Every structure is written in structure tokens, then in C-alpha cells.
Amino acid sequence: MLQVIKDIFTPVYLPYLLSGFWLTIKISITTVFCSLFIGAALALARNYEPKILGKLASIYIEIFRNTPLILWMMACIFMIRYRNAQVRGTIALILYTSSVMAEIIRGGLNSIDSGQFEAAKSQGFNFFQTMAIIVIPQCLMRIVPSLMSQIITTVKDTSFLAQFAIAEFFYNSKVLLNSLTKYVVLTSRHIFVLFGFVALLYFVFNFTLSVLARKFREKYSAMGN
């Protein structure tokens, strides 16, 4: 067993694995950040713009929510001529995640009582003031739990990029497994230790996020909402 651990966590392999994890985190942060903005725009359009923009937002959301992410990754990576596969794959992830974010934000917007809109209007607030000062702050508080679980999903979704040779965590661990088969006699123990480690790192990262989400929910519900 000790030999197996020595085979895998060498001074060369371990930094290689961790550099993959770092890319996973970077792609996740980029995706969450961008898709929050696009998602918010889509949600506002679908909810408050009854004409063309609202319809387009609805169509966008329904298309992306009812087709697999891997399909979009393949389409972007194989068909678009822009930068490298990593950028194109991340674009696919952003396009897909935006549709989910849009529905989460819309759920938050819909949970705000319509009386608040009327009250704001009666006080002379215009639409953007109402949104920025009254609706969005409350909406944010309410959607944090589902937002957190979507962030976890996004971190997991980055692993789909492995099949396009993008050097994130899962891809690097696959490469490592491949390279191990060349230099050591591969046993089932190697597979268990390596992928145990991969699963553990994903787990620790995501579980921490989910614990934070739960803490927030408890605090928030304790505030009487």
C-alpha cells in the first residue's frame, strides 16, 4: 500500500494534479461570475419584458435547460474558431450555466410580493431604482441556498471538459493514470488510491460550500424569514 502511495504522489505527479485542481477552480469562478450576469439579464427579460426580448430569453432558457451540457461543449469546441479549446469549453459552460442561473434568479424575483413593487412605485421609484434598491437585495438573500448548490454543480460540471483534453483536475488525473500504466505494474489499488484522492478533493471543496450554504440558510431562517 505504501508503495502504491509512493508511486502516485511523487514530486512530479502531485503538483501536476494540484495544478489541474487550480484550473478547475479558475474555470468554475469564471463561469459562476459570468453566468450570474447573463442569468440576471435573462431573468429580468423573461419576467418584465413581454415582447421580443422576453420571448428570446424564454427560448434561450428552455433550449439550454433541456439539452445536455456535453453537447454544447462539443459544439463550441469543434465548431467555433476562437482562441483555444479551454476558452471555448468555458464559453459552453457559461452559456449552459446562465440558463440555470436565470431560473434561480427568476424564482427569487417571483418570491417578492407584488405589493412591494406597488409601494415602491407610489413612492416615486422608477423600475431600475425599485430593482436595485428594493427587489434585488431581498432576492439575493433568498436565492443564496440554490445559488450555492448550483455553484457546486458547476464545479462538478467542469469535469466534463476532461474529454476535450483541457488540463483541469479530472483530465490530469486521467493522464496520470495513463502514465502510471507505463512505469509501474498497475493494480486495482492504484486506481482506488488515485481516484479516491480525486474524489476526496472534489468532495472536500464542494462539501465545504454546501456546509456554508446550510449555515447561511439556518441563519437566514433564524432571522424570521
Partner 1 sequence: MDMGPFAAWRWQRLFNDSNIFILGLKNTLLISFLALLLALVIGFILGLASTSSNKALKGVTRAYVEFFQNTPLAVQVFFFYNALPALGIKFSVRAIGVLGVGLYHGAYVSEVVRAGINSIPVGQLEAAKSQGFQTLQALVVVIIPQAIKIMLPPLTNQAVNLIKNTSVLSTIAGGELMYLTNKWVSSGTLNYGPGFVVAGVIYFLLCFPLAYLARKYEENLKAKTTR
The residue among 67 and 221 lying less far from partner 1, judged by its C-beta, is 67
Rounded least distance, CB 131 to partner 1, Å: 24
Q: Which residues contact 76 (CB under 8 A, 6 or more apart)?
A: 88, 89, 91, 92, 95
Rounded least distance, CB 206 to partner 1, Å: 4
- Distance between CA atoms of residues 40 and 135, nearest Å: 13
The residue among 53 and 75 lying less far from partner 1, judged by its C-beta, is 75
Rounded least distance, CB 174 to partner 1, Å: 7
The residue among 59 and 132 lying less far from partner 1, judged by its C-beta, is 59
Three-class DSSP category at 165:
coil
Rounded least distance, CB 67 to partner 1, Å: 5
- Distance between CA atoms of residues 169 and 190, nearest Å: 17
Rounded least distance, CB 61 to partner 1, Å: 11
The residue among 63 and 119 lying less far from partner 1, judged by its C-beta, is 63
Amino acid at 128: F
Q: Could you tell me the three cell numbers for 133?
A: 434598491
Contact 20, 168 (CB under 8 A): yes
Binding site for partner 1 (CB under 8 A): 62-63, 65-71, 74-75, 78-79, 152, 155-160, 162-163, 170, 174, 177, 187-188, 191-192, 195, 198-199, 202-203, 206-207, 210
Backbone angles phi, psi at 49, to 5 degrees: -120, 100
Three-class DSSP category at 51:
coil
The residue among 6 and 65 lying less far from partner 1, judged by its C-beta, is 65
How far does Cα 113 stand from its chain's mean position?
Answer: 29
